[in-house]
Amino acid sequence: SWPATCLAGRTGFVVQSNGDVSVCENLSPLGNLRTDGYDPVKIIRKRGHSQFQGIKDHACDCAHYVYAKDMLEHNFPRALASYLTKKPTRKN
């Protein structure tokens, strides 16, 4: 699991070509721009609570580049410390 919480939905979100809005490409859509008023932030705030809780609880630790990059930028010292303490050692 990642050493810090993913920032999906907090630093960005996804809008599919059909208008579906989600906090991450790997999670189910929360709504649709066309049917829900063309306000993605409102859609996420209204319907995203369970997805945010899952992210907070590390229910979905992935290596999605965009959010992994954001997570590392915002939590680099903790991520580095975690990596260094858990890094496997090589046998020669």
Q: Return the pLDDT at 90.
A: 64
Count of the separate structural domains present in the chain: 1
Mean pLDDT in residue range 68-87: 75
d(CA 26, CA 61): 10
Asked if residue 19 is part of any domain, the answer here is yes
Domain that residue 62 falls in: 14-86
Identify whether 92 is part of a domain: no
In-domain check, residue 46: yes
pTM of the shown model: 0.71
Is residue 21 situated within a structural domain?
A: yes
Residue 8 in any domain: the answer is no
Residue 2: which of 53, 78, 87 has the closest Cα? 78
- Specify if 7 maps to a domain: no
What is the structure's pLDDT at 23? 92
